[in-house]
Structure 1
């Protein structure tokens, strides 16, 4: 039995009784449906085995409606380990681009960032190239950037805190920098954070990053290490990210989710979120709206 979790676009309630009935009638194998949070989120159960086909059938029936679809086996939907990328996933920005703005190089650095996230250039050399352009920036600007320029992705705090309250372990695993993942990870509520360390001398960035660089392989290794430490089956793990350096981690997770992702990442992931906020990952695990910790 598969379950397709349907989640409305952030701030909308699109799953009317009529639409759910229409989907149940149109989707081959549809067996039952259940509401998770009013007209915001619902489950559609289907007695079929092909998850990709079920997702495609539902998307066809939705006919472009701003509703995300996450399909998975019913038995393994509740997760005990969550790993997340930070930049453009748990937050709305790329921190390295915001640092570059202080020396008038945001456009140049963001262009390199975009190519790296699309997988057009290798992550590690691209990071070194971008960090070199940050040489001479005072480390004191980090607090100002977090305060003035960084926004948390809606639903992220609720996702992390609800999972932790239900015994889950959460890790922020970023190709970004510890000066950001430390305070932002704590604000969101993660158990731990892992990222790269910018080198500085006398309170000024040297234009170098500590080796080895945390990239695609390190994210995958983190998932495998934490899974083993916690004694979990692969199916009990959940990961989310938006870039090419997240692909290995997403592929290893029981449920790997692409968030507002580059095309190659969206195509490779188990599921994608194009419209909903991050509480969609709670609905996908079967949490009801009244079980979500929103404060």
Structure 2
């Protein structure tokens, strides 16, 4: 027979959270000043006997202002008190002081907790330590400058495997009968083992003879990445301009813009047809990694925006140049090389999880949709 579940908010010093050996479900943590408010669900012994407690508190209308130089955000699908305890121990081992904590999401499918951090942070070393800790916790753990916890004015997105859950050129190859050859070249390019421009030329040569009429059949079937619609809609509601910057094809990028996603600008490669079929050639200049960065930078300058107002999201090695351009460079479900080199990484959640890195909580996000 299952024991009934108890939901309680405990009031206690942050340092005391690491003490009890009992584990249970973590719902939220908020901390500012001297005492933390810790929401737990448990079915056995009370984890903090003798501590002041009350019923669960509602989520704040907005998170506290960010005043610390760094923020670290925990995104967990199944949060546990033991996860939190290990994370607080990790901060102590790094000699980082937690100055404030906000829970940005406490739904049944995810809990998102933002820690404001003070202390000496060497970015590359700290990033790698957070990636290792994320693996230990089975969660995402994102380090970013505190000043970057704000809504951007311009957001640039890769298309293939970022906004859509497919590589278009691989889909064309399936129809043409050269799937294995093209997929192998795509993988090498996205993993950073082959120059993108060279890979693009090789793949286009293999697609020679592909029918232009088939494009209209493929476009509606391309699946959107989880959270893409929610993120793009919310960014538009917040006044942020968005751009697709892709080494893929303009036909599909414009289809997304026209039919499926609120996108302001598109930069992509043109397909070269003759007699209704692909020639196998390419139209220069090819939109590779450096060109993505240059195009996003030029658009920011045109809009009179500094790099602190720009973010980028992508998944492949050819996205790394633009991921290092602005305030945030978020790799979404990235290739292994990109996970190690991108400034920020979301590996376990959809695109809309980026909204938490912009400093929003679920109440604010829900209000945008209303």
Q: Would you call these one fold, judging by a TM-score over 0.5?
A: yes
d(CA) in 2 for partners of 1:5 and 1:189? 27
CA-to-partner distance for each residue in 1:15-64, whole Å, 9 max, x for gaps?
35664455335413122211111152120111124145555555565563
Q: Name the SS for the 1:211 alignment partner.
A: coil
Give the 3 Å change call, closer, same or farther, for CA 165–121 of structure 1 in structure 2: same
CA-to-partner distance for each residue in 1:252-278, whole Å, 9 max, x for gaps?
122112222222222211111211111
In structure 2, which of residues 139, 143, 159 is the aligned counterpart of residue 71 of structure 1?
143
Which position in structure 2 is the counterpart of 1:119?
192
d(CA) in 2 for partners of 1:159 and 1:230? 21
After superposition, residues 83-232 of structure 1 pair within 5 angstroms as: 83-148=156-221, 150-186=222-258, 187-232=260-305
d(CA) in 2 for partners of 1:282 and 1:119? 28
Give the 3 Å change call, closer, same or farther, for CA 214–56 of structure 1 in structure 2: closer
Which position in structure 1 is the counterpart of 2:91?
27
Q: Name the SS for the 2:137 alignment partner.
A: coil
Give the 3 Å change call, closer, same or farther, for CA 55–45 of structure 1 in structure 2: farther
Which structure exhibits the higher relative contact order, with contacts defined as CA atoms closer than 8 Å and separated by 6 or more residues?
A: 1
Q: TM-score when scaled to structure 1?
A: 0.90
Which of the two has greater helix per residue?
Answer: 1
In structure 2, which of residues 85, 88, 105 is the aligned counterpart of residue 37 of structure 1?
105
Which position in structure 2 is the counterpart of 1:6?
74
d(CA) in 1 for partners of 2:129 and 2:193? 32
Aligned CA RMSD, in angstroms, stands at 2.1
Give the 3 Å change call, closer, same or farther, for CA 66–144 of structure 1 in structure 2: farther
d(CA) in 2 for partners of 1:6 and 1:143? 41
d(CA) in 2 for partners of 1:64 and 1:275? 14
Contact 2:149 2:358 in 1 (8 A): yes
Give the 3 Å change call, closer, same or farther, for CA 52–123 of structure 1 in structure 2: closer
d(CA) in 2 for partners of 1:274 and 1:89? 12
Give the 3 Å change call, closer, same or farther, for CA 141–6 of structure 1 in structure 2: same
| Structure 2: runs of 5 or more not aligned | 1-67
Contact 2:130 2:142 in 1 (8 A): no
CA-to-partner distance for each residue in 1:88-120, whole Å, 9 max, x for gaps?
111111100100111111111010111111222
Aligned length: 290
Q: Name the SS for the 1:160 alignment partner.
A: helix
CA-to-partner distance for each residue in 1:205-239, whole Å, 9 max, x for gaps?
22222111111121011121111112222122111
Q: Name the SS for the 2:245 alignment partner.
A: strand
Q: Which aligned runs of 4 or more in structure 1 are off by greater than 2 angstroms?
A: 14-26, 51-66, 290-295
